[in-house]
Amino acid sequence: MKNIISKILLGSIVAGTGMVYMSCANELDMKPQDWYVPETFWKTKTEFEGNQIALANQFRGFTYQVMFSAGELRSGIFTLSTIDGSGTADADVIQQVVDVSHPQFSNFGGWHGMIANYNEVLYRCENEGVEILDEDTRKGLMAMAYGQRAYCYFQMYKMYGGVPLRTVPDVLLGEYDPEKLYMARATAEETLNFIKDDVKKSIELFNESNYVFKSNKKDYYWSKAASEMLAGEVYLWSAKVATGDHAAGGTSDIQTAKGYFENVIGNYGFALQSDFYSIWTSSHNKEAIFSVCYSSEEDGVYYTSPETNFLWARTTGAAGNNYWSTMDDDGWGKISGKAYRFGRWCEEKDGKLTQRTSKVWDKANFGVMRYLYKNALYYHFDEADSRGDAFYPQYHLTDADRGTKTLMLNNFNPHDYKLAGCFVIKFRPSIIAGSNYYRFKVDVPIYRLADAHLKLAECCNYLDDKNGLKTNIDIVRKRAYGAKYDAAVHGFIPSTFADNEVALLKEYDKEFYMEGHRWWDLRRLTLVKDGAQTDHLVFQPQGCIGYGLNPVDNAWMVENDGSAVVTSVPVLTTQEAHKLLWPIDNNTLGADPLLEQNPGY
């Protein structure tokens, strides 16, 4: 056991530093990569700053967890089958099979590896950096490290509650004695207070420094705006979510969160993109607060998972020709009033209808489809809402269609057919240089301005500020509907606290699908202000993705298996309350005798 804990810690840290020092050679004038040891690094400002570039690359390894596996998989939004007949991935997680034998994540989600590197930045800035760096740079780098460390610990806190709070890079500094590396979990309250202190230090140091790292690519790197966005999240969560010995409730935390979100909106020059589509096609756009880089062809790392897992497998062709599709020939638009067999396109020439493979089919070389959103999510979008344009519905053929081998339908009415499911293309792909195929060369936003507006609206609901609630929801809706926005039709009408929370969930669902929000929204939003844990929407019928739909009067509202949309089944039962937190995996527990399992497991 003694050797295991040191191996776990050293392995996660070295894996991190290994990525740190093998990346970004094009941006840095550094010593040869295989020369890295503490004695030969941290000698120049260039090396201190180069470490930030490499840490951003290392953080990219957590994008899948942040944007999908922790924040969305368990949120009651996925089916257990796909359009093209391939098997669904993570079926156990989707069905809430989470226990010590199925922990989903190991080693507290792997975040301690990132934290070790931020700990080292802080240590070096407080030691070698005093002589090497000018004070403005030193404080700026420390501000970034404190903010990023707080972000990592906040992810762990939401997932596990209290966690071991490691604050020094002990292994990197030569401490290999396993017994000295054992560490018990702090309480939830201690962990949350630590996070609040870290983000406070980050903001204070940013206030004392004019340093901006990589100003032409600033959304790739932690900033004061990112720290304020995180602080708002932390205090909003603190106010509304009880965890372990931390009791939720308190207008003070909500007021604090509200102030941070107002700062993000008003103090940094951010603005919503004029249209929803452009968020996913424009790097460093005016809405981006903190992003992960996937748009560099020089880097060659693209956002392939989970994005490609929501699309079709061209090699298998299981979906090809088997569904009616309203996708256009290029694949990124939609046609109205007609439908073609998926993957095919029809053209009339010399009075004769001919069929060929659609253009997008030839240029798309995606992997096997592994995830399918429930049809209920798609049904919540009305036709004028541009956020639904990323959904590409595919409809079951009828027996008559198959018998006649019809190639195209005129006057197509989707309500006459059963929806098999939707391919989803939120992050827009493009053809990269030297390739004939689409790649997801698009940055991934961890924080963007629309989130600040909706979370500010959530604060306003708690404070019974109906004007602030309406204003911030309407700002997001106006962008979604564009020129089609009609205040009388699309404007938000405040109601009771509970109804407003449910409406906020629906708005989050439509704005932030595929961005890792829904599980956390379900845990935070509640029917009763300062109520019980079981009042949160994760336990309530209102948290069901189909809630608010009317399949009784709309027979076409079916799921992909043809059954009526479910409208009132909670994501978790109250008997599963312990599953709000993840279990600690057995390997991690066995490696450290001071660790204790979460209750219920």
For the domain covering 223-297+445-539, report its CATH number: 1.25.40.390
Burial 283-295 (b: 16+ CB within 10 A, else e): bebbbbbbbbbbb
Question: Tens digit of pLDDT for each residue in 228-263?
Answer: 999 999 999 999 999 999 999 889 999 999 999 999
Question: Tens digit of pLDDT for each residue in 7-16?
Answer: 444 444 433 3
Query: Where along the chain do its domains lie?
Result: 1-70+105-218+572-601, 223-297+445-539, 307-439
Encoding tokens for residue 558? Answer: 């079916």
HSE-up of 46 (CA within 13 Å, CB side)? 7
CB within 8 Å of 285: residues ≥ 6 apart: 273, 278, 279
Question: Tens digit of pLDDT for each residue in 271-280?
Answer: 999 999 999 9
Closest CA to 220 of 294, 301, 149: 294
Q: Does domain 1-70+105-218+572-601 have CATH number 1.25.40.890?
A: yes
| Res 25: pLDDT | 30
| Res 592: pLDDT | 96
Topology alike, domains 1-70+105-218+572-601 and 223-297+445-539: yes
> Across the 601 residues of the chain, what is the mean pLDDT of every consecutive 10-residue run?
44 38 32 52 95 94 94 97 88 96 96 96 97 97 98 98 96 86 97 98 98 91 98 98 95 98 98 96 96 86 88 64 88 88 85 84 82 98 96 91 83 94 92 87 96 98 98 98 98 98 98 97 97 97 98 96 96 98 97 97 97
| Res 28: pLDDT | 29
Closest CA to 503 of 557, 461, 475, 532: 461
**Taking a C-beta distance cutoff of 8 angstroms, is the pair 512, 545 a contact?**
no
**Taking a C-beta distance cutoff of 8 angstroms, is the pair 495, 473 a contact?**
no
> In Å, what is the CA distance from 294 to each residue of 21, 24, 439?
19, 13, 10
| Res 11: pLDDT | 44
pTM score? 0.93
- Alpha-carbon gap, residue 420 to 397, rounded angstroms: 9
Kindly state the DSSP code that residue 536 receives in the 8-state scheme. B
| Res 76: pLDDT | 98
Closest CA to 236 of 247, 251, 221: 251
| Res 315: pLDDT | 54
